[in-house]
Amino acid sequence: MGGKILGTGKDGCVIDSINYGNYTNDNGYVAKILNSVINYDLINRLKQIDPNEIRFVHYIMPDETFDMELLKQNEDYMTCKNNLSGNLNIIFMKKLNPINTRELNKQQYRYLRESLQILHDNNISHGDLIDNVMVDLNNNPIIIDWENAKLNADYIDKKIDNDAFLSSGNFKVKRNV
């Protein structure tokens, strides 16, 4: 049944107790309450690049049948709402597991680097890579949270991503002992 807030950040709050059609906690989905504008062009582009969400989590937007009034009866939603400002949006996305980016194995490190290169080859910068990587059931890194991402990224945007990945020390290969 869910029933808890999984995480909060400057752009939103992730909740496992809000359901929409087949996008339920029981089916492996969570809701995210956002206090930022959703870039639909970016989400559509990610779906073209990675239709099976192997490297990048997509956002699923509810249609007009979603009952916002019912949402206001959800205690977790109200907690999130009280901690956020502005117009709120709701999206649904795959529920993933946390990863320690300071202890990636070589395969995970390469996979994540390839994912970043795919974004850049498609002129997308993430803009907030640190703390926005999770793992799927196969332990492969997946990039999440697209609120700071940019389509038609220029050299500087891509450099910011690369610097976050390569220079910050936040993404390290675990040494075998």
pLDDT tens digits along 38-76: 999 999 999 999 999 999 999 999 998 898 888 888 888
Residue 56 phi, psi dihedral angles, 5° rounding = -135, 130
Contact of 132 with 143, CB cutoff 8 Å: yes
Contact of 122 with 150, CB cutoff 8 Å: no
List pLDDT tens digits, range 23-38: 999 999 999 999 888 9
Q: pTM of whole model > 0.95?
A: no
Q: Tell me the domains of the chain and their CATH numbers.
A: 5-95 (no CATH), 98-166 (1.10.510.10)
| pLDDT of res. 73 | 87
The H or E element containing residue 64 is none
